[in-house]
Each structure stands twice: as C-alpha cells, then as structure tokens.
Amino acid sequence: MALKSFPDDQNILAFRKKLALEVSSYLHSKNIDVNEFGKEDYPDRGLVRRELYPWNDHEPDRYSPTSIDFLNHEMSKVAPKLEVLAVKLPVLSIPKTSLKGDKSPDASTEFDQQLGIFAKEDISPGEIILNEKSMVTGITRLHDSFCDACSIKLPKITTTALDSDNTSNPEQSICCEECDDVFFCSQECHDLAQESYHPAVCGAVVDIISKNVPPTEAADFLYSLLLLRVLSMAETQDIHPLDVKEIKYIWGDYHGLPLNRLYQIGTDEKPLDNFGGVPQTLPFSFEMNVQTPLHLLEKMDVNIFTQSPRYDTWVFNTLYAKFRGTASARQGLDGKPETGAVHPMWCLANHSCDPNVAWEWEGSIKFWTKEKRVGWKGKEARTVTGIKKGEELLSHYCDIRLPVKERREWAAGALGGDCRCERCVWEAGEPRDGDEESRS
C-alpha cells in the first residue's frame, strides 16, 4: 500500500529490497526454495519485544510510597495478613552475554526491582490467606454454564436481576435483564459487572465470541477475550485502558534495562538484527494484535479514529504483555482453554519451584499455606511450620513435579526467561546469581 501511494519513495524502495534479501536469506538457511515460497506460506504469528513505550505515561512508579500504599489497601480487602513490598529479582528476559561491557557471562547477571507479597504476621500451615475475586475474566463458550463475571460454574435455574429478591441462592443464576446473553452466579457478580464492564458490551457479546476457534488458536483467543474485558471496563468507566486499576500496577515483563546497554550494533554499524539483539518474547499476529481488537471496538460502537489515544496498537501490545505473564486459565474436557482470568493481587506473588503456598481458582482465587514443601535432591521434603512474619510468599506458575528443563519451558512464558529459583539453579548445576562457582 505504501508503494502504491508513494511509488518513487527511495526509503520505501530500499526497505522493500532489504526485506526481500532478509526473507531470501532466511529461506536459504532453511533449505527452502524462494521461488516456491508464497505469501500463503508466511507464518501466522511471530514475536516482538516487550517494550515500555517511551510515550506510555500511564505506567505508574510501582515502587513509590503512593503505589505501595494503594496496593496494600487493595491487598487488605482480600488478604489482611499479607502486604506488598519491593524486592530485587534477577532479570530473566535478558541473555547474560547481550549486555555491553561485561567481563563474563556470570558477571553480567542483572537484578531489577519488582514487587512481592510478604507475611505481616506468623501464618499457620493450611491457613487460607488470600481470597480474591476478579472481573478481568474471559470465557470462550457462549451460553455455557459459567458466570460471566467471575467464571465459576453456574447453577441450573436462571432468573433475571429484576425478578431476583436480592437474596443469595446457590441454586439460582441471574441473566442480564437487557440482553439475556450473559449469566451471573449471584446478585453480587451481576452488580459488579454492571458497574465495571457489562454496559459497554451489552447486546454485542454474541457477535464477539460466537467465533469457532481452532484448538491451536484457543489460547490466543482467550487472551483476546481478556483484552475485550479490559477495553469494556475502560469504556464503561470512561478511562484509559491502562488506567483500569486491576491492570495498572501489573508488570508487563519489560526488559527493564536501558537500550544503550542492551541494543547491539553489528560490524557494519547497523543493528545486529531487526530488534538490535533485544529478546522477543511477546507473541504478535495481525489478527490478534490489530484486527481482533478493532473488531471488538467496532462492536462496542467505539470510533477508533476519534478515540485513537485510548485504543492504539501499542496499548493492545502493552495489555497483552501484562496478561501473558499473569493470567491463569482452566481447560475444558476437550483440552481447550475455556476460562481465563487476571487476579491483580494474586499475581504479585513471585514464582518458585519450591513454593510455600498452594492456590486454587474456582470463581475466586485462594492462597493457603503449604503443610509440606516439595522434596528435591538439594533439600528433602520437609514439614513446615507455616510462614513466619516478614517471610515472602512464593507461588508457582508451572507443574513443580516436572524435571527442571520442562519446568523452565512451561514457566518461561510467564517469567520471561529461565527460572532462577534455588531449586532450578541447583538441579541444572548452574552457579547461583552472584556466585562465581557452581554447586559441588
């Protein structure tokens, strides 16, 4: 399209030539005949870097006293015995050898400030210490038996909010009195939905999620439904999507280091590659990152031209970066993800393959103190006496029964790189961060 509009533009012509050379070189490296490779053979998706865009003035200083106070106020509502504090963690998304001026790979281990959850008092084994309900949910099955707000399984009997007597009945669900397209498990969820997100999509839900999605695209589609939920929250509350409080303080796993240290230039004084050597960890496709969000906004009667400051592509990318490191999901009987959610307090807990808490999501998400820690060669299975005051809560983002290689592969999407917890480092035979020697 650019060449049609500017057929003699030298920059566009040069870029097309460079792009053709890059594609030809890549195909040659894969032993693919360039003459037999057409547009239909291009991959449907690729990867881009997770970037905190310089013009993003909605990202808060998460470590300021104001932010910490706000998060602790929110935490007190769902976990009165816990508090949010700043911690130092290794940067997992940056290969050690990509940092300029480092003497050795081990010496280049970088640490970045993050948030964590800590005990405000001694906590007994088996005690439920967090119970959080979130409205940032996505459900892939239309007219199925899930609460549209919290995604819990619904009871069989259905009524409308107008017919409800405002009493909680575990055997009765409530449908929206305006559209009859969505159902809620309780009056509480109905009211929360009407206050936070549903008015923006009332009557449009069928058009948005009636798509028959192939199994290979089910996970991406679920992320797009989480995006829809945040966009509908922004419209209903008349705020920028990145200012939605459930999303605002979530870290997007940006690389967190200055580009002048990270960006790599080749011998020809040109970027080492199209990303200058910066790791690309965020999935990107035209359909999910551009086409689908615009389709959702169209169904919500949003004018994307007059509202572009709120709904630009970089906003979608930033939201996806936040989701992909924090969302939890459940699979259906067919193996496809059917529900997903982002719980803003729960996701502040850092990961370890030797966690001291367990969790379960069923409508609301719960943390409870483990009564027995996992056993591994570095440390035998041991009975614990709960969590002490000042101790950090450590959750887990993967199946901790797996070997270290598989655990790291499963958790990489959420962590942004290989897990560096004590157990993984020991089992992989690697030096601990800051150590010059590996374990004996």
Same domain, 188 and 317: yes
pLDDT of 141 higher than 90: no
pLDDT of res. 195: 96
pLDDT of res. 123: 94
Same domain, 22 and 141: no
Residue 230 within a domain: yes
| C-alpha distance across the termini of the chain, in Å | 61
User: Cα–Cα–Cα angle for 192, 196, 200, nearest 5°?
Assistant: 125
Instruction: Specify the higher pLDDT residue, 430 or 174.
Output: 174
Q: Give the domain-ending residue among 300, 323, 341.
A: 341
Residue 225 and residue 127 in contact, taking contact as beta carbons nearer than 8 Å: no
Residue 58 and residue 242 in contact, taking contact as beta carbons nearer than 8 Å: yes
Same domain, 328 and 183: yes
pLDDT of res. 161: 54
> Tens digit of pLDDT for each residue in 2-45?
778 888 888 888 888 888 888 888 788 878 888 887 777 777 78
Q: What amino acid occupies position 298?
A: E
Label each residue of 275-321 as H, E or C.
CCCCCCCEEECHHHHHHHHHHHHHHCCCCCCCCCCCCCHHHHHHHHH
Domain assignment of residue 22, given as a range: 2-42
Residue 360 within a domain: no
Same domain, 31 and 146: no
pLDDT of res. 127: 94
Same domain, 36 and 140: no
CA distance 241 to 111: 29
> Tens digit of pLDDT for each residue in 196-240?
999 999 988 666 665 567 777 788 888 999 999 999 999 999 999
pLDDT of res. 246: 96
Residue 281 and residue 50 in contact, taking contact as beta carbons nearer than 8 Å: yes
β-strand partners of 118: 83, 392
Residue 171 within a domain: yes
Share of the chain above pLDDT 90, in %: 37
Residue 57 within a domain: no
> Tens digit of pLDDT for each residue in 87-118?
987 766 555 444 444 443 443 457 778 899 99
Residue in 437, 404, 393, 431 with CA at minimum distance from that of residue 130: 393
Same domain, 217 and 325: yes
Residue 154 within a domain: yes
Residue 227 within a domain: yes
Q: What amino acid occupies position 79?
A: A
Collect all residues with Cβ–Cβ distance below 8 Å to 108 and sequence separation of at least 6. Answer: 96, 97, 99, 102
Q: What is the tally of structural domains in the chain?
A: 2
pLDDT of res. 438: 32
Q: Are strands 282-284 and 46-48 parallel, antiparallel or unpaired?
A: antiparallel
Same domain, 162 and 292: yes
pLDDT of res. 107: 39
Same domain, 301 and 175: yes
What SS3 class is residue 362?
strand
Same domain, 25 and 140: no
The pLDDT of 274-290, averaged and rounded, is 82
Instruction: Specify the higher pLDDT residue, 172 or 401.
Output: 401
pLDDT grade for 253, boundaries at 50, 70 and 90 = confident
CA distance 202 to 196: 12
> Tens digit of pLDDT for each residue in 328-368?
888 877 777 889 999 999 999 998 998 999 999 988 999 99
- Show the tokens assigned to 232: 């509908």
What SS3 class is residue 121?
coil
Residue 112 and residue 93 in contact, taking contact as beta carbons nearer than 8 Å: no
Share of the chain above pLDDT 70, in %: 82
CA dihedral over 147, 150, 151, 152, signed as positive or negative: negative
pLDDT of 433 higher than 90: no
pLDDT grade for 82, boundaries at 50, 70 and 90 = very high
pLDDT of 312 higher than 50: yes
The pLDDT of 248-254, averaged and rounded, is 87
Same domain, 170 and 285: yes
Residue 24 within a domain: yes
Predicted TM-score (pTM) of this structure: 0.81
Q: Give the domain-ending residue among 306, 326, 341.
A: 341
pLDDT grade for 163, boundaries at 50, 70 and 90 = low
pLDDT of res. 439: 33
Residue 401 within a domain: no
Same domain, 24 and 156: no
Same domain, 298 and 167: yes
